[in-house]
Amino acid sequence: MTDKSIKTLTVDQAAEEAADLRPQLLEWGKQYYEADAPSVEDDVYDRVYARLVALETAFPEIVTPDSPTQRVGGSSRSDLPKVTHDIPMLSLGDVFSLDELTEFDERLRGNVDTPFDYNCELKIDGLAISLRYENGKFVQGSTRGNGQIGEDITANLKTIKSIPQTLSRPLTIEVRGECYMPKAAFLALNERREAAGQAPFANPRNAAAGSLRQLDTRVTADRQLATFMYNVADYEPLTTRTQSGLLDELAELGFTTNATYRVAHDMADVAAYIETYQARRTELAYGIDGIVIKANELPLQRSLGATVKVPRWAIAYKFPPEEVQTRVLDIEWTIGRTGVVTPTAIMEPVALAGSTVARASLHNPDYLIAKDIRIGDTVLLHKAGDIIPEISQYVAAKRPAEAKAYVIPTTCPSCGAELVHLDDEVALRCINPRCPAQLAEGMNHFASRNAMNIAGLGPQIVAQLFDRNLVQDVADLYRLTTDQLLTLDKFGEKSAQNLLTAIDNSRNNSLERLLFGLGIRHVGAKAARSLAAAFGDMASLMAADSEQISAIDTVGGIIADSVVTYFANTQVHELVAKLQAVGVNMTYTSGTPATNSTSEFTGKRVVLTGKLQELTRPQATEWLEQHGATVTGSVSKKTDLLIAGEAAGSKLAKAQSLDVPVWNEAQLQAAMDETK
């Protein structure tokens, strides 16, 4: 892209430059909208796109039908059902300065005879969605797609807690808004992906898009997506006639709306709002990339209409990227508990977006090679999604003459074992089960809050335990003595006793905590609970095959294969035996009653299947477990009762073939009422 003034270009020169820009923008757009894997930063795309818009505005005769400026969003996936938007879902025009925003205001007010206000809203960094309700019931949800045709993602949207299934009034209406991934969920997801050897998502927006367009609803449900709704296809069913009032009315109907909106009377109010949230963006629990300014009167919006691509009554002010330069001092490789070896750039500390940054993950060897980051390079640093420090590129003009391409290691920096690629992963792994770095990371995970919850056992203490050869694996924790702990730095009698008490208490944890703590690949806290509840004890799970495990509702083939592979390892058998020998509980106890009282469900194995009308599955599960039942996901000879809702399928047939008693939801409700 040239920086040459458009005023100096001829038509032929403008056409030639535009012809160069269009395929690049189309490719970037495909990566962003369809693959959810952008290859350039947003501001790079925005800058090139703005240049193409300027060229086509100055020379309308060079506009082509396939130009990115004539499209909304991207294509839809071929493997998802299609939804036609009767009223198109348009994207917004962008401005990048207050001067451009003032031009928009002057242009709009020049076309309107009466004074009007704006409504200012945060521009959420997510994926546009549409929700259709009939008589107050949620019937269909879709993506924007290309503005005319989107993707049907109803099943996935039903897993998102902030989307009401029933409205507070029986309206037939189409509501539009943004689905996003909160910052905390994004961080946790990328940590899980990197531990599994998968490429991390570039930012929360792409993580949300990738999660929503899954064919497996269980994946979507696990990713903690959220929504803010802010528009309707037609405002006639509502009582309000302003954009600010629309947000309030949507909240009354049961939607989650963003309460930070502000009605602005003039550009001074708009500028103040922009200044406030540009300064506060890093404090928010979700990502924003700008401010949306809309004419507040809904009838005015309708009368102003839209161009082929954007509404005339709204504009998006995009925040400038906060990017700083710093120098790479070293590239450090760290080993996670699953053996993934990750490169990290160690940099000269620099202030960025409210914090001092000295490290940035380079994710995996392919990423490092693609970015061509070298020791000594001056690099441009930003925070992806306002959260994760990320190097966008090196500054070519400042590269030292002696800088050489970085050589990817072939052996583990901790144990020296050969590094390998597994199953076409992007990550390098150390597969030595006795690797000290992996063992230490595994012990940190074992002691963490959601696992065995051993308070006071942090990374520094774990490192000392390994350095002094006091432990070789997690089972050795239960053999530690006061005298041994007193040899550690800053340990006295009281701190030693507190840690030993915490370790001792963890022996009694329910099986799911132990399963999660063992760090079995792909087995998170939820899957661990499902496995523990389904099989009841460690021995039964270790003896199960992949088919038996994958029959559990919330467990798929990938998890099942991983569990079977894990327990096929003789070293794992030895570790489990050591844990059992030191008194660590091997049974599922979370489903037992909190009191000594008994009920007809005490000690029973119960399976839920089909769709319940009055209860949710979690509500029924919680009640049954509180009354002594163990709720499992698969029917077997050990099952004592099947509770079948509507559209019960293979589990009902299997229960009948095994003569397992079957209840309907009414019978469960009667038992619950009797207990009351």
Whether residues 222 and 84 share a domain: the answer is yes
The predicted pLDDT at position 581 comes to 96
DSSP 487: T
In 10 A of CB 200, how many CB atoms?
23
Task: Determine which one of 82, 123, 637, 654 is catalytic.
Answer: 123
Whether residues 274 and 310 share a domain: the answer is yes
User: How far is the C-alpha of 578 from the C-alpha of 575, rounded, in Å?
Assistant: 5
374 known member of a binding site: no
Compare 304 and 47 and report the one with higher pLDDT. 304
What pLDDT digit, counting tens, does each position of 251-270 carry? 999 999 999 999 999 999 99
What pLDDT digit, counting tens, does each position of 500-513 carry? 999 999 999 999 99
Report in angstroms the alpha-carbon separations of 570 from 53, 290, 505.
64, 55, 28
120 known member of a binding site: no
Q: Identify the CA nearest to 645 among candidates 627, 628, 662.
A: 662
Whether residues 390 and 457 share a domain: the answer is no
Whether 261 maps to a domain, the answer reads yes
Whether residues 277 and 153 share a domain: the answer is yes
Q: Can you give the residue range of the structural domain that contains 175?
A: 80-316
Whether residues 380 and 357 share a domain: the answer is yes
45 known member of a binding site: yes
Percent of the chain with pLDDT over 70: 93
Report in angstroms the alpha-carbon separations of 97 from 275, 276, 635.
12, 15, 62
Whether 638 maps to a domain, the answer reads yes
Predicted confidence (pLDDT) at residue 115 exceeds the cutoff of 50: yes
The predicted pLDDT at position 282 comes to 81
Interhelix angle 570-581/557-567, nearest 10 degrees: 80
What is the full DSSP assignment across 83-105? EE-SS------EE-SHHHHHHHH
CATH number at residue 167: 3.30.470.30
Please give the structure tokens belonging to residue 213.
Answer: 């367009």
Last residue of a domain, one of 373, 401, 430: 430
Band of pLDDT at residue 594, cut at 50, 70 and 90 = very low
User: How far is the C-alpha of 117 from the C-alpha of 96, rounded, in Å?
Assistant: 21
Q: Taking a C-beta distance cutoff of 8 angstroms, is the pair 474, 443 a contact?
A: yes
615 known member of a binding site: no
Report in angstroms the alpha-carbon separations of 425 from 145, 421, 429, 433, 435.
30, 6, 9, 19, 20
Whether 669 maps to a domain, the answer reads yes
Q: Taking a C-beta distance cutoff of 8 angstroms, is the pair 635, 651 a contact?
A: yes
Whether residues 498 and 513 share a domain: the answer is no
Report in angstroms the alpha-carbon separations of 95 from 43, 46, 89, 102, 125.
12, 10, 20, 10, 16
Reduced to 3 states (helix: H, G, I; strand: E, B; else coil), residue 198 is coil
Predicted confidence (pLDDT) at residue 480 exceeds the cutoff of 50: yes
The residues with which 314 forms a beta bridge, in sequence order, are: 294
- Average pLDDT value over all residues in the chain: 87
44 known member of a binding site: yes
Whether residues 42 and 112 share a domain: the answer is no
Predicted confidence (pLDDT) at residue 77 exceeds the cutoff of 90: no
Whether residues 490 and 547 share a domain: the answer is no
CATH number at residue 56: 1.10.287.610
Whether 75 maps to a domain, the answer reads no
Whether residues 552 and 635 share a domain: the answer is no
Q: Specify the number of domains making up the chain.
A: 6
294 known member of a binding site: yes
Q: Is 383 a catalytic residue?
A: no
Band of pLDDT at residue 128, cut at 50, 70 and 90 = very high
Whether residues 118 and 149 share a domain: the answer is yes
Predicted confidence (pLDDT) at residue 145 exceeds the cutoff of 90: no
What pLDDT digit, counting tens, does each position of 529-580 carry? 889 988 999 999 999 999 999 888 778 788 899 899 989 988 899 999 999 9
Whether residues 227 and 342 share a domain: the answer is no
Whether 624 maps to a domain, the answer reads yes
The predicted pLDDT at position 595 comes to 43
CATH number at residue 518: 1.10.150.20
Last residue of a domain, one of 316, 350, 377: 316
Whether 45 maps to a domain, the answer reads yes
CATH number at residue 635: 3.40.50.10190
CATH number at residue 419: 2.40.50.140
The predicted pLDDT at position 593 comes to 46
121 known member of a binding site: yes
Whether residues 211 and 117 share a domain: the answer is yes
Band of pLDDT at residue 475, cut at 50, 70 and 90 = very high
Whether 15 maps to a domain, the answer reads yes
Whether 454 maps to a domain, the answer reads yes
The predicted pLDDT at position 505 comes to 94
Percent of the chain with pLDDT over 90: 49
Residue 380, φ and ψ in degrees, nearest 5: -95, 125
412 known member of a binding site: yes
Last residue of a domain, one of 387, 410, 430: 430
